[in-house]
Amino acid sequence: MSPNEATITLPNNKTIKTPTGLFINNEFVDSVDGKRFETINPVTEKIITTVAEASEKDVDIAVDAAEKAFNEAWRYFTGVQRCKLLNKLADLMERDLDELAALESLDNGKTYKESKETDLSMSIEVYRYYAGCYTRHEPIGVCAAIIPWNFPLMMQAWKLGPALACGNTIVLKTSEYTPLTALKVAALIKEAGFPKGVVNILSGYGKPAGSAMAYHMKIDKIAFTGSTVTGKYILKASSESNLKKVTLELGGKSPNIILADADLEEAVKWAHSGIFFNHGQCCCAGSRVYVENSVYNKFINKFKEHTEKMKVGDPFENDTYQGPVVSKIQFDRVMGYIETGKKEGATCLMGGDRHGKEGYFIKPTIFTDKEEMTIMQEEIFGPVVAISKFNTIEEVIEKAHMTTYGLAAAVFTKDVSRAIKISNELKAGTVWVNLYNTFDSYSPFGGFKQSGIGRELGKYALKEYTQVKTVQINL
C-alpha cells in the first residue's frame, strides 16, 4: 500500500481507507524531506496512523500550485461553474457521511452522533450555502487558511466555502492533532472535479508550516482560527511580510446570564450544552455562568443534577454525551486549570478529576462561589464551568466585560425588552437569547475585542474573500 494511504480499523472492526499525504495539485504526495508525524486516538492514547508533515518547502510548492491554478484556471470559471463543483462536493460528503463521521470521532474524540448530526451536517450546509453565492467583486488570489482541532471538518468548510465561491485558490493547513478528515475531503474534492491546484491541504505544525504560510510573500490573504496568542503572531507576520489581508477567529470566555424570571429548566438545559457540548472545546463555550441571586441555589442544584445524567465515555456509543479531550497536552492543560481553581479557593461542586484510567477523559467539572480566579478569566477549552451570582443588571454586565475576550454571550429571560437591552450592552460578536451554540450558514460569526478580526459565514464572509476595484474611464 502507498505510504500516503492508510487502512484504519474502527471500534466496530470496519475499516476505512484514508489518504495520509499532503494534498497538492490534486495528488497526495510525500513531504519534500519525507518527514511524517503520528496522529493519536484520544480514547486509547494509541497511534491511529502517521501523516506527511509539511515543511517550508512544501508550503512553497502548495502556494505555487494555488497561484498557477488561480492565474490559469479558477479565476476564469464562472460563478455557476464554481457553484456546481461546490454542490458536487457537498453531494459526495453526503454519500460518505458515515465514514467521515467515524474518522472525525476517531481523530478528535468527539461523539460519533455529534460528528454526524452537527459537524457534518453544518459542513455540508456551508458548501451548499456558498454554492448559491455569486461573485460581485474580484477574488483576492491565493488564500491561506490555518485551522484548529476542535471542529476539523466544519472549520475546513467555513474556510473553503467562501474562498472558492469567490474565485480564490487556497492552501489550508490542518491542526497537527486532527489531520485525517480534511485529507478524506481532499479526495472528494479531486473526485468532484475541481481543477488541480485550486485546493491544497497540508498537514503539519505551527512551525515550520503555519509560520511559513503567515510570512509567505505570495499569499494574498490568510484566514486563521485558533488561539489569541497565535492570532497575534499571524497579524505580526502579515505586517512584517507582504501585508496580506488577515481574518482572525480567536478565543473566548463567554458569559451566560440567567435572570430570575427565566424558564429555569430550559436555562439549565442550554447552559449545560453551552459549556459541555464538544467537551467544552468550543471557542464560544459558555464557560462563565452568572445567575441572579434569588434563583442561584435552585439553578446550581438543577444544573448539577442535569450534568450528572450525562454519560462520559466511548464516543462511538449512542448515549455518550462527552468523550475524551483531544490530546495529552490539552488534558494536562485542563487538569492544570482545575488544580488552579481548587488552589484559588473555589468550591468544586462536581468533577475535578480524570474519568477512568485510560484515554484523555475529564469529568464534567463545576466550580462555584469565587469570581476573582484564573478560571473565571482565562479560556480553559475543556469541560469546566464556573458559576457565580449577581444582583443587578448593571453588575452582571460589568462582570460580563471583565475579560479580554468578546466572542459570544447569552441571556435567559422571559422579558424580551430586558433581553434586547442586555444584548445591546454586551460586547460580543454573537448574543444568544434563551438558547446557546446555535449556528447557520447565513449568520455571521466573529469576535469583538481580542476574540478576532472580521467575520465568517453569511454574506459578510464574501467581503473577506473579495476586493473592490474602481475603474474610471474617460471615453
Can residue 236 be called a binding residue for ligand NAD (CB under 6 A)? no
CB of 347 to ligand NAD, least distance (A): 26
Stretch that binds ligand NAD, among 3-11, 110-118, 171-179, 316-324 (CB under 6 A): 171-179
Find the binder of ligand NAD among 21, 210, 280, 454 (CB under 6 A).
210
Alpha carbon 414 to chain centroid distance?
31
End-to-end CA distance of the chain: 64
The type of residue at 314 is D
Can residue 278 be called a binding residue for ligand NAD (CB under 6 A)? no
Please tell me the number of Cα atoms within 13 Å of 446 on its side-chain side. Answer: 17
Burial of 362 (0-12, 13-18, 19+ CB in 10 A): buried
Can residue 149 be called a binding residue for ligand NAD (CB under 6 A)? yes
The one catalytic residue in 67, 104, 114, 249 is: 249
Can residue 250 be called a binding residue for ligand NAD (CB under 6 A)? yes
Can residue 214 be called a binding residue for ligand NAD (CB under 6 A)? yes
How many Cβ atoms are within 10 Å of 396's Cβ, its own excluded? 24
Find the binder of ligand NAD among 65, 106, 142, 283 (CB under 6 A).
283
Beta strand extents in 82-229 (DSSP E only): 138-139, 142-146, 169-173, 199-202, 221-225
CB of 249 to ligand NAD, least distance (A): 3
CB of 59 to ligand NAD, least distance (A): 11
Contact 226, 178 (CB under 8 A): no
Can residue 185 be called a binding residue for ligand NAD (CB under 6 A)? no
DSSP codes joined into one string, 263-284: -HHHHHHHHHHHHHGGGG--TT
Please list the alpha-helical segments (H only) found in 116-151.
121-131
Q: Which three cell numbers stand for residue 189?
A: 474534492
At 84, is the secondary structure helix, strand, or coil?
Answer: helix
CA–CA gap between residue 5 and residue 10 (Å, rounded) = 16
CB of 222 to ligand NAD, least distance (A): 9
The type of residue at 401 is H
99 noted as active-site residue: no
CB of 429 to ligand NAD, least distance (A): 8
The type of residue at 123 is S
CA–CA gap between residue 67 and residue 70 (Å, rounded) = 5
Residues touching ligand NAD: how many (CB under 6 A)? 29
Find the binder of ligand NAD among 11, 79, 206, 458 (CB under 6 A).
206
- Closest to ligand NAD by CB, 37 vs 205, is 205
- Closest to ligand NAD by CB, 403 vs 413, is 403
Q: Is the link from the previous residue into 255 a cis peptide, with omega within 30 of 0?
A: no
What are the angstrom distances between the C-alpha of 110 and each of 41, 66, 116, 254? 11, 32, 10, 21
- Closest to ligand NAD by CB, 18 vs 211, is 211
Residue window 107-146: x/- pattern of binding to ligand NAD, with contact defined by CB under 6 A = ---------------------------------------x
Can residue 227 be called a binding residue for ligand NAD (CB under 6 A)? yes
- Closest to ligand NAD by CB, 177 vs 390, is 177
- Closest to ligand NAD by CB, 19 vs 148, is 148
- φ and ψ at 440, to 5 degrees? -145, 170
Can residue 173 be called a binding residue for ligand NAD (CB under 6 A)? yes
Can residue 249 be called a binding residue for ligand NAD (CB under 6 A)? yes
CA–CA gap between residue 123 and residue 423 (Å, rounded) = 28
Stretch that binds ligand NAD, among 83-91, 199-207, 298-306, 348-356 (CB under 6 A): 199-207
Can residue 381 be called a binding residue for ligand NAD (CB under 6 A)? yes
Q: Which three cell numbers stand for residue 346?
A: 473555589
- State the catalytic residues: 249
Interface ranges with ligand NAD (CB under 6 A):
146-150, 173, 175-176, 205-207, 210-211, 214, 225-227, 230, 233, 249-252, 283, 379, 381, 407, 447, 452
